[in-house]
Amino acid sequence: MTTRVGVVTFPGSLDDRDAQRAVRLAGAEPVALWHRDKDLHQVDAVVLPGGFSYGDYLRAGAISRFSPVMATIIEQARLGMPVLGICNGFQVLTESHLLPGAMLRNNHLHFICRDQKLRVENATTAWTSDYQVGQEISVPLKNMDGRYTADPRTIEELEAEGRVVFRYVDVNPNGSINDIAGITNAAGNVVGLMPHPEHAVEPLVGTGRTDGLPFFTSVLKQLVSS
Amino acid sequence: MARVVVDVMLKPEILDPQGQAVQRALPRLGFTGIADVRQGKRFELELEGPVDDAALARIREAAETFLANTVIEDFTVRVEDGQ
Distance CA A216, CA A207 (A): 17
Residue B17: name the closest of B39, B2, B46 by CA. B39
Contacts A102 to B, Cβ<8 Å:
69, 71-72
What pLDDT is stored for residue A226 in this prediction? Answer: 73
Distance from CA of B45 to the nearest CA of A (A): 15
Q: For chain A, give the DSSP string.
A: ---EEEEEE-TTB-SHHHHHHHHHHTTSEEEEEETT----TT-SEEEE--B-GGGG-SSTTTTGGGSHHHHHHHHHHHTT--EEEETHHHHHHHHTTSSSSEEE--TT---EEEEEEEEE----STTTTTS-TT-EEEEEEEES--EEE--HHHHHHHHHTT-EEEEE-S--SS--GGGEEEEE-TTSSEEEESS-GGGSSSTTSTTSS-TTHHHHHHHHHHHHH-
What span, in angstroms and rounded, lies between the C-alpha atoms of B55 and A191?
38
Structural domain spans, chain A: 4-105+114-225
The chain A residue lying nearest B18, using CA atoms, is A109
Tell me: pLDDT of A111 over 80.
yes
B81, pLDDT greater than 80: no
Residues with Cβ within 8 Å of residue B12, at least 6 apart in sequence: none
pLDDT recorded at residue B1: 74
The pLDDT value recorded for residue A49 is 97
pLDDT in tens, A21-71: 999 999 999 999 999 999 999 999 999 999 999 999 999 999 999 999 999
Q: Would you tell me which CATH number, out of the four given (3.40.50.880, 3.40.50.2300, 3.30.479.30, 3.40.50.1000), belongs to the domain A4-105+114-225?
A: 3.40.50.880
Mutate to test the interface with A, among B9, B16, B38, B66 (most CBs of A within 10 A): B66
pLDDT of residue A204: 85
Question: Nearest-CA residue of chain B relative to A92?
Answer: B69
Q: What is the pLDDT averaged over residues B49-56?
A: 93
At residue B51, the pLDDT reads: 92
Say if residue B83's pLDDT is above 70. Answer: no
Say yes or no to pLDDT of A119 above 70. yes
Taking contacts as CB-CB distances below 8 angstroms, the residues of chain B near A94 are 71
Q: Which residues contact residue A124 at a Cβ distance below 8 angstroms, ignoring those fewer than 6 apart? A: A162, A188
Give me the pLDDT at residue A220, please: 95
**Can you tell me whether residue B79 is helix, strand or coil?**
strand
pLDDT computed for residue A1 by the predictor: 67
pLDDT, residue B82, reads: 62
| CB neighbour list of residue B24: distance below 8 Å, 6 or more residues apart | none
Average pLDDT over residues A195-206: 91
pLDDT at res. A142: 94
pLDDT for residue A198: 96
Percent of chain A at pLDDT exceeding 90: 93
Out of B14, B21, B67, name the one closest to residue A149 (CB): B14
Measured between beta carbons, which residues in chain B are less than 8 angstroms from residue A105?
17-18
Say whether pLDDT at B75 is over 60: yes
Q: Which residues of chain B make contact with A151, given a CB cutoff of 8 A? A: 71
Query: Is B71 in contact with A102 (CB distance < 8 Å)?
Result: yes
Name residues 136-165 of chain A within 8 A of B (Cβ). Answer: 149-151
Interface test with A, best of B69, B73, B75 (most A CBs within 10 A): B69
Instruction: Give contacts of B15 with chain A, Cβ < 8 Å.
Output: 104, 107, 175
How many A/B residue pairs have CB atoms within 8 Å? 31
Angle at A200 between CA A198 and CA A205, to 5 degrees: 120
Residue B37: name the closest of B11, B13, B17 by CA.
B17
Q: Judge whether residue A144 has pLDDT over 80.
A: yes
Q: Give the C-alpha distances (Å, rounded to integers) separating A7 from A14, A52, A110, A119, A121.
A: 12, 15, 28, 25, 25
Residue in B closest to A174 by C-alpha:
B17
Q: What is the pLDDT of residues A83-104, one digit of tens each?
A: 999 999 999 999 999 999 999 9
ipTM of the complex: 0.84
- Say what the pLDDT of residue A207 is: 74
Domain ranges of chain B: 2-79
Task: Flag if B71 and A150 touch (Cβ within 8 Å).
Answer: yes
Nearest to B22 by CA among B41, B7, B38: B38
**What does the alpha-carbon distance between residue A44 and residue A211 come to, in Å, rounded to a whole number?**
23
Return the pLDDT at A206: 72
Q: Which of A51, A4, A44, A53 is nearest to A199 (CA)?
A: A51
Which CATH code, of 3.30.750.24, 3.30.1280.10, 3.50.50.60, 3.10.20.30, is assigned to B2-79?
Answer: 3.30.1280.10
Does pTM top 0.90 for this prediction?
Answer: yes
Chain B: closest CA distance from residue A63 (Å): 8
Q: Could you give the residue ranges of the DSSP H alpha helices within chain B?
A: 17-28, 53-62
Residue B52, pLDDT > 90, answer yes
pLDDT beyond 90 at A225: no
Interface touch B67/A94, C-beta < 8 Å:
no
**Which of A62, A107, A109 faces B69 most closely, judged by CB atoms?**
A62
Candidates A216, A219, A207, A194; CA nearest to A137 is: A207
